[in-house]
Chain A
Amino acid sequence: MKKRSLVLVTVDCLRADHVGFLGYSRRPVTPNLDSLAKNSAIFSNAIVAGAPTYFSFPAILASRYPLALGRDLLGIAPHEPTVATVLQEAGYKTAAFVAGNPYLSRRFGYDQGFDSFHDFLGSEAGNEPIAPDSVAAKKPSKLNRWIQEGSRRNGLAASAYDELYFWYCQWLSARENIPMDRLRRYPAANVIVDQAQSWLSSLGEQPFFLWLHLMDPHNPYYPLEEALAALRLSHITARRARFLNSFWDRWDVGTHRLKRYREEILSLYDAGVYWVDKQLSRLVEELQHFQRWDDTVFVVTADHGASFLEHGDRYHGPTSLQEHLIRVPMLLRAPELAGRHFSHGPFSMIHLAPTLLDAVGVSPPDSFQGRSAWEQIATGNLRAEPAITECIDGCFNPTRLDDRMRPRLMAVRDQDLKLVINFSEKQDYLYDLKNDPGENSPLPPGIRTRERARLFQLARKHLQRTSDSEKTDLRLRAVLFELQQSGRMMGGNASA
């Protein structure tokens, strides 16, 4: 029997509520995926095991909770089994095309198991120099620094200075005419798909594993003009997009002022999603062209969502585990899965890797913390189980050890209830998602005590399971790897 191949597409920042096949109807952003969804299994409540990217991917590729090996490791541990390493050992040709997200690079072990790994961070990133996002990003002049320092002595003067300086920078920016393609920070989906097609064409009959990570919906939001035109958004010019991104990035203004630009920011975001959809249709056509489509399991999902002023938040920092950040779209296409829609209980992404291996007929390794749900999915009887998601609260720069040595933020997401435990604040919040999907009002402490305790028991079990000593060898390898990578050995104290 011919071995099945596997294509895993992860889209950075893609929210579950911004794809047509899960109900988004404001704009036709995903016509091709919507069509593909009819012949696939789709999941309304796929929940990531961590957020953002650096806390999400250990589960996606290695079925491991992000803090299960402690806080010394960022990424995949040396020799840690992943979907790629397992399939490579099983005789698959493997390739990854990752659109320039540094947290998914070789530095963090993501190249393990890939015959061909492209992270688009070096010379692959392209020859065109990227323009600064805003003039404000450039170094201020001596005079500006002097005025800035002076104004800081008075709060009102500081605000006035920030305001004036922002608009002065915008005035300067408006005089430059930089095209969208030079403002974009990451290779667009068409570049990644082109490379993937080229690799696919070299394969022949061999089974393969292809991983694409696309960044088009990630901030800063600079979609292709073709995508804006397709969504009738051509009035948003590169100049306007530059202004919008600069304003959206201001931390000196309140939510009420940011709200004015929210709709336009969402338009740019949607155009990024549209471009992903369009390019994925090219990839599917290519697989059909090479007659590999029928024996390929094709998955599209995301590592986390994004905030657009829900609770006043922007982007996707590790300060919250709200639904728009942890609920991601998931589409799993295999010939026998047509028309399956799992709309009820959560599906934890910790189960994705073993499920995918099972789908192609390869046994998952013992180190995986999730278990295969393939049979349940194939028979349409997916059992709903609470999903756990976690991050280190406020860890914005995970490359810094100090940033990683902080308490965690954890959520236990059940079908209608969600318990969020903030270990920094020593507080917990129970939400009734059915009646409060926006997580605006946690239930009072004395309400639904039994369910609250049940979710706490799951959180406790999770901590006990992930801190057990079974993986000491991986953790130690990770410590040594980090020592080498961070150069701490180079700077080691001679009298240590």
Chain B
Amino acid sequence: MTQYRTVNLPEDLCGEAEKFLTGRFDSLEALVSFLLQEVVKDTARKFDQAEEQMIEQRLRDLGYL
């Protein structure tokens, strides 16, 4: 079951952000969750790691790691 956490945000910032909601997001929570998901996604890092692993394997094959 998903656990939730309460985060305190400045009232005026929430007010500004709520202007984005109309017709796009149900709530301020939905907007903040969407943004955080985008931020932490970092798909590129998966590529970087896979590429680094391939190089390390080649170095092992060559006897240099």
Which residue numbers of A lie inside 8 Å of B, CB to CB?
67, 70-72, 405-408, 410, 421, 423, 426, 428, 449, 452-453, 456-457, 459-460, 463-464, 466-467, 475-476, 479-480, 483, 488-496
Which residues of A lie under 8 Å from residue B50 when comparing CB positions? 407, 423
Complex contact A428–B26 (CB within 8 A): no
Task: Indicate which residue in A407, A408, A483 contacts B38 across the interface (CB closer than 8 Å).
Answer: A483
Q: Which 8 A-B pairs have the closest CB atoms?
A: A70-B44, A453-B64, A71-B44, A467-B48, A496-B34, A460-B55, A453-B62, A463-B52
Contact of A460 among B30, B33, B56, B63 (CB under 8 A): B56
CB of A68, distance to nearest CB on chain B (Å): 10
Contacts of B55 in A (CB 8 A): 421, 456, 459-460, 463
Within B47-62, which residues are at the interface with A (CB < 8 Å)? 47-52, 54-56, 58-59, 62
A–B Cβ pairs within 8 angstroms, 8 of them: A407-B47, A410-B51, A453-B63, A459-B55, A466-B48, A489-B24, A494-B30, A495-B30
User: Could you tell me which residues of chain B, from 1 to 59, have a CB within 8 Å of some CB in chain A?
Assistant: 20, 23-26, 30-31, 33-35, 37-39, 42-45, 47-52, 54-56, 58-59
Contact partner of B48 among A457, A463, A475, CB < 8 A? A463
Given the known interface contacts A71-B44, A460-B59, A467-B45, the answer about A492 and B64 at a Cβ–Cβ threshold of 8 Å is no
User: Are B54 and A423 in contact (CB-based, < 8 A)?
Assistant: yes
Interface contact B47-A405, CB-CB below 8 Å: yes
A457→B59 contact, CB < 8 A: yes
In contact, A70 and B42 (Cβ under 8 angstroms): yes
Bound together, the chains give a CA A415 to CA B65 distance in angstroms of: 24
- A408 touching B51, Cβ below 8 Å: yes
Contact B51 A492 (CB under 8 A): no
Q: Report yes or no: B42 in contact with A492, Cβ–Cβ below 8 A.
A: no
What's the Cα separation between A406 and B44 when bound, in Å?
9
Known A423-B54, A453-B62, A456-B55; judge A492-B47 contact (CB<8 A). no
A67–B52 touching, CB < 8 Å: no
Given contacts A463-B51, A464-B52, contact A496 B58 (CB under 8 A): no
Tell me which residues across on chain A come within 8 A of B38, comparing CB atoms: 479, 483, 488
In the bound complex, residues from chain B placing their C-beta under 8 Å from that of A493 are 34
B33 in contact with A496 (CB, 8 Å): yes
Q: Is A494 in contact with B64, judged by CB distance below 8 angstroms?
A: no
A72-B44, A423-B51 in contact; A492/B58 too (CB < 8 A)? no
- Most A Cβ at <10 Å: residue of B31, B39, B44: B44
Is B59 a contact partner of A456 (Cβ separation < 8 A)?
yes
Q: Is there contact, CB below 8 Å, between A492 and B34?
A: yes
Query: Which residues of chain A are near B44, meaning CB under 8 Å?
Result: 67, 70-72, 405
Shortest Cβ distance from A406 into B: residue: B47
- Asked if B39 and A428 make an inter-chain contact with CB atoms under 8 angstroms apart, the answer reads no
CB nearest neighbor in B for A490: B24
Q: With A and B bound together, what is the CA distance between A423 and B51 in angstroms?
A: 7
User: Which residues on the A side are within 8 Å of B45 (C-beta)?
Assistant: 70, 467
Let me know if B30 and A407 touch, CB within 8 A: no
* CA–CA, A67 and B44, complex, Å: 9
List, in ascending order, chain B residues with CB within 8 A of A428's CB: 58
Q: How far apart are A390's CB and chain B's nearest CB, in angstroms?
A: 10
Q: Are B62 and A483 in contact, CB atoms less than 8 angstroms apart? A: no
Shortest distance from the beta carbon of B35 to any chain A beta carbon, whole Å: 7
B24, A71: Cβ atoms under 8 Å?
no
With a cutoff of 8 Å between Cβ atoms, the chain A residues found around residue B63 in the complex are 449, 453
Query: Which residues of chain A are within 8 angstroms of B49 by Cβ–Cβ distance?
Result: 467
Cα-based distance from A371 to B58 in the complex (angstroms): 29
- Nearest to A401 among chain B residues (CB) is B43
**B25 and A405 form a contact (CB under 8 A):** no
Cα distance A71–B24 in the bound complex, in angstroms: 26
Give CA–CA (A495, B21) in the complex, Å.
11
The one of A456, A459, A492 that contacts B25, using a Cβ cutoff of 8 Å: A492
Instruction: Give the CA-CA distance A410 to B51 in the complex, in Å.
Output: 10
Task: Tell me how far the C-beta of B18 lies from the nearest C-beta in chain A, rounded to whole angstroms.
Answer: 14
Q: Smallest CB-CB separation from B55: which chain A residue?
A: A460
Tell me the complex Cα distance, A83–B50, Å. Answer: 33
A476 contact set on B, CB distance < 8 A: 39
